[in-house]
Amino acid sequence: MFLLRRLQQYILMDLLRFFAFLLSVVTILLVFVGVFQQIQESGLGPSDVLPILPYIIPSLLPFTIPATLLLTICVVYGRLAGDNEITAAKAAGINVLSLFWPAFFLGATLSVCSLLLTDQVIPWSVGNIQRIVAMAMENIFLERLRSKNHVSAAQQGLDITVMGIDGKKLIGPVIRYAPQGRDVITALAEEATIRFDLEQQKAILDLERVEIDLPGKRYARVRKHEISFLLSPVIRKPKPRHQSIREIRKKVTAASQKQIALQQRRDIETAWALAMGNFNRFLDPDFVNYEQRLKHDKNEAARLNTAMHGRFALSCSCFCFVLVGCPFSVLQARRQFLMNFILCFIPIIVIYYPIILLMMNLSKMGLVNPAWAMWVGNAGMLVAAWFILRKALRH
């Protein structure tokens, strides 16, 4: 028993050491890719993106942890088997399965950590990234006004000219704004401030003591006026994978309630139109839009449910990779660890992930229930692990 515990501690420390090293190397390499992507998407300079670095790392870990863990398993157990340490343990009366327990423990722990990352840490980090990007956009906006006294945003139909900048205040701004291609509205204010609303994806100009030139009307004088315009795609609406499970469940409930209310309203209007003989009502665009709105709400609920169930399934992939990797590395003891990893990881790439992506797309379309569909890939891994583990224990 003492020998078994010492062996398990030795294996666990080996796993932790290799895993920490490999994860650090892979994450550092991918961080540069993430920084480059942020620079491309946001148009910010490298100095503006540097504060985002600490928040990019958590979003990369759910993708790097499973593959890094599998490589670690192949290195440690491949070396143990290659040096005949597994054979020596069996000769001492130690069951091979007991030598796998450190890896099983590490895989289960990392599965829980991956779930916490995707549920809590990543939504927090994405929110901070958006906050930093918004602050950088605000600084860029003010710097352009400070240097040129003029900013033009053709996509938003906005043109701003100022007399000067005092901190975050615009002095004597003249704003020409054409919302959604309509006639140009001109506003002359004594001063204004700009702020960003990330939830509504808007930038808001708060004007004070304003004269507004409305098309076809005289000047209107108001004490305060607000002009808002949609942000560019730099600050995107949070995706389901960037939200916590609690938020996703709230949105699923809201979408379901909205769908039920729309169905009831559609049924009432259908019954009323049939009772009154008003068959033209069925050709009304508002009535036709019911089906489109119901389809949209159904797709939204399916998309949110897929993200929620997929989060649990993909987090458990760490444990599934360990179940396959341990016995496979022992069986392939005479090969190099890198070859073991390649032989083990290629079927995962070719079979496991395509199945996950297929089930994910079908679930988003509402064709299958994500509660079981997102676990099909893991079920296949468990079946493969069962056969490989039996073979490893037998030989």
Q: Give the model confidence (pLDDT) of 257-299 as tens digits.
A: 877 877 777 777 777 777 776 666 666 666 667 677 777 778 8
Q: Tell me the average pLDDT across 176-205.
A: 71
Which one of 187, 204, 230 terminates a domain?
A: 230
Structural domain contains residue 311: no
d(CA 125, CA 59): 8
Count CA atoms within 13 Å of residue 269 on its CB side.
17
| Residue-level pLDDT at 215 | 62
- 294 shares its domain with 324: no
| Domain residue limits at 263 | 240-303
Counting residues of the chain whose pLDDT is more than 90, the rounded percentage is 17
> Any idea what the Cα angle at residue 336 is, between residues 332 and 341, rounded to 5°?
70
Answer yes or no: is pLDDT of 111 > 90: yes
Of 51 and 124, the structure prediction assigns the larger pLDDT to 124
Q: Cβ-count burial of 249 within 10 angstroms (0-12 exposed, 13-18 middle, 19+ buried)?
A: middle
- 34 shares its domain with 10: yes
Contact 297, 258 (CB under 8 A): yes
| Residue-level pLDDT at 98 | 85
Total domains in the chain come to: 3
- 258 shares its domain with 351: no
Of 94 and 12, the structure prediction assigns the larger pLDDT to 12
Structural domain contains residue 32: yes
Lowest mean pLDDT among 108-122, 173-187, 310-324: 173-187
Structural domain contains residue 215: yes
- 202 shares its domain with 256: no
Tokens, residue 34: 């993430």
Structural domain contains residue 287: yes
Contact 330, 392 (CB under 8 A): yes
Q: Tell me the average pLDDT across 177-199.
A: 71
Which one of 303, 332, 348 terminates a domain?
A: 303
Answer yes or no: is pLDDT of 388 > 60: yes
Q: Cβ of 268: how many Cβ atoms within 10 Å? A: 10
Can you name the residues that pair with 165 across neighbouring β-strands?
A: 170
pLDDT band, very low/low/confident/very high, at 107 (cuts 50, 70, 90): very high
Whole-angstrom distance between the N-terminal and C-terminal Cα of the chain? 23
Structural domain contains residue 337: yes
DSSP letters for 297-309: HHHHHHHHHHHHH
- 42 shares its domain with 162: no
- 299 shares its domain with 327: no
Structural domain contains residue 272: yes
Structural domain contains residue 36: yes
- 253 shares its domain with 373: no
- Packing angle of the helix pair 96-116, 317-331 (nearest 10 deg): 150
Q: Tell me the average pLDDT across 105-117.
A: 92
d(CA 326, CA 74): 7
| Residue-level pLDDT at 233 | 47
Residues 6 or more apart in contact with residue 307 via CB below 8 angstroms: 239, 240, 241, 243, 248
- 21 shares its domain with 72: yes
- 74 shares its domain with 200: no
Residues 6 or more apart in contact with residue 321 via CB below 8 angstroms: 66, 69, 70, 73, 107, 348, 381
Structural domain contains residue 40: yes
pLDDT in tens, 354-376: 999 999 999 988 889 898 999 99
Answer yes or no: is pLDDT of 10 > 80: yes
Which one of 208, 230, 252 terminates a domain?
A: 230
Query: How many residues belong to the chain?
Result: 395
- 284 shares its domain with 371: no
Answer yes or no: is pLDDT of 13 > 80: yes
Cα-to-chain-centroid distance, residue 8: 36
- 8 shares its domain with 71: yes
Residues 6 or more apart in contact with residue 207 via CB below 8 angstroms: 173, 175, 187, 189, 191, 192, 224, 225, 226, 227
Greatest mean pLDDT range, 41-45, 79-83, 160-164, 379-383: 379-383
| Residue-level pLDDT at 254 | 82
| Residue-level pLDDT at 220 | 64
- 298 shares its domain with 365: no
pLDDT band, very low/low/confident/very high, at 234 (cuts 50, 70, 90): very low
**Cα-based distances in Å from 287 to 105, 276, 277, 290:** 57, 16, 15, 5
pLDDT in tens, 221-233: 667 777 776 655 4
d(CA 294, CA 289): 8
